[in-house]
Structure 1
Amino acid sequence: MNTIQQQIRTTLTELYNDSKNDRYNMVKGLAKSVFRPMQPMDFKDAYLSVSKEQGEGLKRLIKENNIKNIVEFGTSFGISTLFLAQGAMETGGSIITTELIASKAIKAIENFKKAGASELIEVRTGNAMHTLKNHNRPIDLLLLDGWKDLYLSLFQMLEPNFHSDTIIYVDNADMADTRKFLKTIGENKKYQLKSKFGGKVVLITTLK
């Protein structure tokens, strides 16, 4: 294992340890939904990360499919991004990730520097419908892990950048807004959907 891979692993361990003490911020964000619909800023201090099992699965997915051009919607504090970076290091790939909340993006950038992975990752701060609007490169892997009601709009905006081997990784597939998105995509005979991790994740690929 090279030095950067080890730095990434160490940083991920520290971030997961921090996230174990984060239940308060998550509960605080959820409590606000009692009075109104949830909003991104409700979770500005909360870790919204993929599981370690999912992270390892993302690494394998990248390596097994020789994925190079990766786009992530929903950086949060950068845990999932660091797993993507581990895979991208094996394939010579790179990552564009976008985060709505500036304070989270700043913290994620610090984490990427600490992990020695900054050169692999471009962070775009702001609404993904704006930060990715003029994206003009092929997308090998699109990770959807941001605000769920934007999944469909973002998918449709980026669809011209998909190719026959593009994989769309949909996290939180069991949530109501995500299920609506998947129902719409599933009605398009061009795509096939495969459930993973007990239904928490769905992979969308193009039928060949």
Structure 2
Amino acid sequence: MINEQNIQIQNTLSHLFIDSKKDKFNVLKGLTTSIFRPIQPSDFKEAYLSISKKQGVDLVQLIKDNNLKNIVEFGTSFGISTLFLAQGVLETNGHIITTELIESKAEKAIKNFKEAGVNNLIEVRIGDAMETLKNHNQPIDLLFLDGWKDLYLPLFQMLEPNFHSNTIIYVDNANMADSKTFLNTIRKNSNYKFQSIFDGKAVLINRKKQ
């Protein structure tokens, strides 16, 4: 059964990655707005802003190796990273909560999850993550940060009470300015250790063993 679901996920991912390769125009269109005003999430409502296939495969292995079950994702977009997360939790009998600000993106992601046959593993929350995750009070095994970068720090701080000794925080786009500011702030806390991966594009944060 798991093999059949994995095939279904892979088929959906293949279609999404084909679409994402055609999507350079929407990314560039979003970026050009910075000429006139600061970039906003809505500027990328049609753009694929996803992790790479290699990152996705590595993410699945990370979940399996550490038996991660309770996953929270910030930044669903069209659901590419979420599908890799789902592939991992198929093996661990886990569950994903993912949150997306742009409703049209969330709706497309939900459609993709249904196509992949894993919508039962994923709870999609639509809106500002600081609101949709405000009352989260369950242990978090993996926090996947891949949304608007200036929210990494307040979101981390809000969810930190739900971390435990084996929690992993995966920081995507760690080489961007706001991400670096976030990481530099967390580095001041001696309870955490950091591992850079994919040539600095991503960083894993873990609690130090006491």
TM-score above 0.5: yes
Matched residues, percent identical? 68
Name the amino acid aligned to 1:134: N
Instruction: Encode CA deviations 1:40-62: one digit per residue, 9 max, x unaligned.
Output: 00000000100001000100000
Name the amino acid aligned to 1:171: D
Distance 2:58 2:143 in 1: 14
SS in 1 for 2:73: strand
* 2:72 alignment counterpart: 71
Distance 2:38 2:170 in 1: 25
Structure 2: give runs of 5+ residues left out of the alignment. none
* 1:51 alignment counterpart: 52
Distance 2:133 2:120 in 1: 19
User: How far is the alpha carbon of 1:113 from its aligned partner?
Assistant: 0.2
* 2:43 alignment counterpart: 42
SS in 2 for 1:198: coil
Instruction: Encode CA deviations 1:44-103: one digit per residue, 9 max, x unaligned.
Output: 000010000100010000000000000000000000000000000000001000000000
SS in 2 for 1:2: helix
**1:206 equivalenced with 2:203 (yes/no):** no
Name the amino acid aligned to 2:84: F
Instruction: Encode CA deviations 1:152-183: one digit per residue, 9 max, x unaligned.
Output: 00000000000000000000000000000000
**1:178 equivalenced with 2:186 (yes/no):** no
Name the amino acid aligned to 2:12: T
Instruction: Encode CA deviations 1:4-49: one digit per residue, 9 max, x unaligned.
Output: 1110000000000000100000000000011111100000000010
* 1:137 alignment counterpart: 138
SS in 1 for 2:11: helix
User: How far is the alpha carbon of 1:107 from its aligned partner?
Assistant: 0.2
**1:12 equivalenced with 2:13 (yes/no):** yes
SS in 2 for 1:45: coil
Q: Root-mean-square deviation (CA), in Å?
A: 0.6
Distance 1:180 1:35 in 2: 24
SS in 2 for 1:7: helix
Name the amino acid aligned to 2:70: N
Name the amino acid aligned to 1:124: R
**1:87 equivalenced with 2:84 (yes/no):** no
**1:169 equivalenced with 2:157 (yes/no):** no
* 2:112 alignment counterpart: 111
Distance 1:12 1:106 in 2: 16
Instruction: Encode CA deviations 1:97-127: one digit per residue, 9 max, x unaligned.
Output: 0000000000000000000000100000000
Distance 2:124 2:118 in 1: 12
Name the amino acid aligned to 2:159: L
Structure 1: give runs of 5+ residues left out of the alignment. none
* 2:193 alignment counterpart: 192
* 1:152 alignment counterpart: 153
Structure 1 runs of 4+ with >2 Å offset:
none
